[in-house]
């Protein structure tokens, strides 16, 4: 589902549409991934959000290839007959040879064609294909690794599909096959080994070995050049998977990855430098209401506040209007995702807020799925108590209103002392007594199956943040993905993010990072690191990221304690901002949405495909590297007022405090600042294409040539 943003004065028009055309009439694109119509992780988001742009470029010649999962097909795919004659003959021949291949439309934006292969139906071929893999590539796959077995089946079937399609084409077609991750990588290796007429691209979104090494608390980035990759993979019993990934990277005509930091990692672990970096984008849907995202923030925040009222019933001794909502979300990788350093920084922030007698309260949400045994009874009770109090207040209000109406009807001013009778007071006293609580508000909203060994809960016990009245920092651990049907916090993820004030993602290992990107599109400031792809990308494109609400934590050149102090400083400075300052910062953050839209970032994928065609079919497509001017690429300028502290600007939100009007802040004109940004944006690189001649320049945004000599 596309993320929505406002089209207002804060929108930057500097990123223009790419008007150059390229002759793709006789070219066909197959994009192969395990997560086509099969949500497992972030690659699903990449393919789903990019599908509309790719469909517009390739039209009827774009096909996604993935595994057939019946439960997903029922809800996401409309099965139809193939429209391409060669593909129809290919599928018919494979089905008559003992396979089960389905064709349909994926019901997402762009409605791309999908070819879904039932790997379980051909499991009888697994042993023979494993033997063939050993004879051809000397890669042995153990019988107990189910995921690797699936990769073998999927790889041989996709290679079969591509080979059969090439054979069925009446005219020699220019086929481009784009493979994502190691699970699909074996198909690429087989295409090259069988010398199929296919231009191949391999994209790694995160290296296998890198993820495993970082999960083991290794000093990863300082020792990249020192790792004995074969030994490390063997010690972790993933050597066969590593071999498939490395073979795919080396066999591909074009090897890409999602960020500069992952490119460095791939060069050392996979032993090939990526030809081009293809950052992940988002499908940003715009609507025309002025500053609508600010209104959505206010609405979503009020819903979170309702949850907080119930969760902290009996201990609601803080001002919700001066309460900041922080969150971290993603896979439950305690160290890789930076939950460890975030908790330590929260403990230090709590000390600073208490010492400085701050009236700000911080509530930090941890949205990370873990093994649970249903909701916590105390948490559910809190929401029931809140609802009961609301019902009681409505009852008393109706009785009061009726008496007031009758008094005014006879032309008399009401006697306030008689407006509430004993029964009203009895009802209210019973409601107040019901809010009494003998225990502290719970940390975790669910019953954890492994409470004593859970990393987050153990860290909370160590730092001593138990949601006590004296603490200015409260913690809520929600070990389940958010859902609008939840009886506890009935909000979907997008709505929850809009209601928060700051996303905190101090990851140690994050090849890209969709969570801070989603925050940016929704106008929510975020903290990421210079070890994440998103953080590096923003540092490269923005002159002063902090001024735009993009805080980049240094985890590359600092130790853990120094990074923790820097994170604490970011959080403390954020807590000291006024409400008006936060509003203007959200305006600036949302202004960066164009930078993360596939309309801009999709051109890197286009460049990769053109590069692959030039390498695979040099007689038809000519690759001509050209020098690029130094103006290629762009950086957002530093805003006019830093830090955001407007005093005389118009209000961006309908909700507003009069006290903030009296602040002696410097002048801030949002319209003027947005216009300055538009003028200062330089155009990214372009790919002029004429007569099937390709020119790829400056794809890394700095004007450097990105083409590798490897084939």
Per-residue pLDDT tens over the stretch 406-422: 888 988 888 877 788 88
Q: For residues 419 and 206, what is the distance between their CA atoms, to the nearest angstrom?
A: 67
CATH dotted code for 285-378+439-596:
3.40.50.2000
pTM (whole model) above 0.85: no
What pLDDT is stored for residue 637 in this prediction?
A: 58
- Each residue of 336-377: pLDDT tens digit? 999 999 999 999 999 999 999 999 999 999 999 999 999 999
Contacts of 674 (CB under 8 A, 6+ apart): 9, 10, 11, 12, 591
- Each residue of 577-620: pLDDT tens digit? 999 999 999 989 988 988 999 989 998 999 999 999 999 998 88
Q: Which residue has the higher pLDDT, 403 or 495?
A: 495
What are residue 180's DSSP bridge partners?
203
SS3 475: strand
Q: What's the rounded mean pLDDT across residues 77-94? A: 95
Q: Above 50 in pLDDT, residue 632?
A: no
- Each residue of 103-149: pLDDT tens digit? 999 999 999 999 999 999 999 999 999 999 999 999 999 999 999 99
**Which is nearest to 670 in space by CA: 574, 579, 586?**
586
Is residue 567 within 8 A of residue 345, CB to CB? The reply is: yes
What are residue 31's DSSP bridge partners?
64, 178
* Beta-strand pair 622-623/372-375: unpaired
Is residue 156 within 8 A of residue 97, CB to CB? The reply is: no
Instruction: Give the distance from CA 62 to its chain's centroid.
Output: 25
Q: What's the rounded mean pLDDT across residues 686-702? A: 40
Quick one: 592 exposed, middle or buried, by C-beta within 10 A (0-12, 13-18, 19+)?
buried
DSSP class of residue 532?
Answer: B
Provide the phi-psi class of 255: left if phi over 0, else alpha when psi is between -120 and 50, else beta.
Answer: beta
What pLDDT is stored for residue 130 in this prediction?
A: 97
* Beta-strand pair 361-367/473-478: parallel
Strand order in the sheet with 254-257: 77-79, 101-106, 113-117, 62-67, 27-32, 174-180, 198-204, 254-257, 276-277
Provide the phi-psi class of 21: left if phi over 0, else alpha when psi is between -120 and 50, else beta.
Answer: beta
Q: For residues 107 and 125, what is the distance between their CA atoms, to the nearest angstrom?
A: 32
CATH dotted code for 27-283:
3.40.50.2000
Averaged confidence pLDDT in the chain: 85
- Each residue of 152-203: pLDDT tens digit? 999 999 999 999 999 999 888 899 999 999 999 999 999 999 999 999 999 9
Q: How confident is the model at residue 450 (pLDDT cuts 50, 70, 90)?
A: very high
What pLDDT is stored for residue 648 in this prediction?
A: 35
**Which is nearest to 338 in space by CA: 509, 512, 477?**
509
What pLDDT is stored for residue 677 in this prediction?
A: 57
Q: Above 80 in pLDDT, residue 630?
A: no
Q: What's the rounded mean pLDDT across residues 436-457? A: 93
- CB count within 10 Å of CB 44 equals 17
Residue with tokens 């784009």: 178
Q: For residues 246 and 621, what is the distance between their CA atoms, to the nearest angstrom?
A: 27
Q: Above 60 in pLDDT, residue 513?
A: yes
Q: For residues 399 and 381, what is the distance between their CA atoms, to the nearest angstrom?
A: 27
Q: For residues 600 and 281, what is the distance between their CA atoms, to the nearest angstrom?
A: 8
Q: Above 50 in pLDDT, residue 693?
A: no
């Amino acid at each position: 589902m596309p993320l929505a943003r406002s089209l207002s004065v804060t929108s930057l028009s500097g990123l223009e549409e790419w008007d150059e055309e390229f002759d793709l009439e006789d070219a066909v694109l197959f994009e192969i991934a395990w997560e086509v119509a099969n949500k497992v992780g972030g690659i699903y988001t990449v393919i789903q959000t990019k599908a509309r742009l790719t469909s517009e470029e390739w039209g009827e010649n774009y096909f996604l290839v993935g595994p057939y999962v019946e439960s997903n097909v029922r809800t996401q795919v409309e099965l139809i007959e193939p429209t391409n004659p060669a593909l129809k003959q290919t599928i018919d021949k494979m089905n008559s040879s003992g396979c089960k291949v389905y064709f349909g439309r994926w019901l997402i934006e762009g409605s791309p064609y999908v070819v879904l292969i039932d790997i379980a139906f051909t499991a009888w071929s697994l042993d023979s294909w494993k033997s063939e893999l050993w004879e051809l590539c000397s890669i042995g796959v153990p019988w107990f690794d189910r995921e690797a077995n699936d990769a073998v089946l999927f790889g041989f079937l996709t290679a079969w599909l591509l080979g059969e399609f090439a054979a069925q084409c009446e005219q020699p077609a220019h086929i481009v096959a784009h493979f994502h991750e190691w699970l699909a990588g074996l198909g690429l290796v087989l295409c090259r080994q069988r010398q199929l007429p296919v231009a191949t691209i391999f994209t790694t979104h995160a290296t296998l070995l890198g993820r495993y090494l970082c999960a083991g608390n290794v000093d990863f980035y300082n020792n990249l050049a020192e790792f004995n990759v074969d030994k490390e993979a063997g010690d972790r019993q993933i050597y066969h998977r590593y071999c498939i990934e490395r073979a795919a990277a080396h066999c591909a005509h074009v090897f890409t990855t999602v960020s500069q930091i992952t490119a460095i990692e791939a060069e050392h672990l996979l032993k090939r430098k990526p030809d081009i970096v293809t950052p992940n984008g988002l499908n940003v849907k715009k609507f025309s209401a002025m500053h609508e995202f600010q209104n959505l923030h206010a609405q979503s925040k009020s819903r979170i506040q309702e949850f907080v009222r119930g969760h902290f019933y009996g201990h609601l001794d803080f001002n919700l209007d001066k309460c900041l909502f922080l969150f971290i979300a993603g896979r439950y990788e305690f160290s890789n995702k930076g939950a460890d350093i975030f908790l330590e920084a929260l403990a230090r922030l709590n000390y600073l807020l208490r010492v400085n007698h701050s009236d700000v309260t911080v509530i930090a949400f941890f949205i990370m799925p873990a093994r649970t045994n249903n909701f916590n009874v105390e948490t559910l009770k809190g929401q029931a108590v809140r609802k009961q109090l609301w019902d009681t207040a409505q009852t008393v209000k109706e009785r009061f209103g009726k008496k007031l109406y009758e008094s005014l009807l006879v032309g008399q001013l009401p006697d306030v002392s008689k407006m509430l009778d004993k029964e009203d007071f009895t009802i209210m006293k019973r409601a107040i007594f019901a809010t009494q609580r003998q225990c502290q508000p719970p940390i975790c909203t669910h019953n954890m199956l492994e409470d004593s060994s859970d990393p987050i809960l153990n860290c909370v016990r160590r730092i001593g943040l138990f949601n006590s009245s004296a603490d200015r920092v409260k913690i809520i651990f929600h070990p389940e993905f958010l859902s609008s049907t939840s009886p506890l916090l009935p909000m979907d993820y997008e709505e929850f993010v809009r209601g928060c004030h700051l996303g905190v993602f101090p990851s140690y290992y994050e090849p890209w990072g969709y969570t801070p990107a989603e925050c940016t599109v929704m106008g929510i400031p975020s903290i990421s690191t210079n070890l994440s792809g998103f953080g590096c990308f923003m540092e490269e494109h923005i002159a002063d990221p902090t001024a735009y609400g993009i805080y980049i934590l240094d985890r590359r050149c600092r130790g853990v304690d120094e990074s923790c102090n820097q994170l604490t400083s970011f959080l403390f400075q954020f807590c000291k901002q006024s409400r008006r300052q936060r509003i203007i910062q959200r305006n600036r953050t949302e202004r960066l949405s164009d930078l993360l839209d596939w309309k801009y970032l999709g051109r890197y994928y286009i460049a990769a495909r053109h590069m692959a065609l030039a390498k695979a079919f040099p007689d038809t497509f000519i690759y001509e590297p050209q020098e690029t001017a130094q103006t290629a690429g762009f950086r957002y300028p530093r805003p006019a007022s830093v830090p955001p502290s407007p005093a005389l600007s118009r209000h961006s939100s309908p909700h507003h405090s009069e006290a903030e009007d009296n602040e002696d802040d410097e002048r801030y004109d949002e319209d003027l600042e947005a216009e300055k940004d538009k003028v200062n944006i330089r155009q990214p690189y372009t790919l002029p294409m004429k007569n099937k001649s390709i020119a790829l320049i400056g794809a890394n945004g700095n004007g450097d040539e990105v083409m590798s000599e490897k084939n």
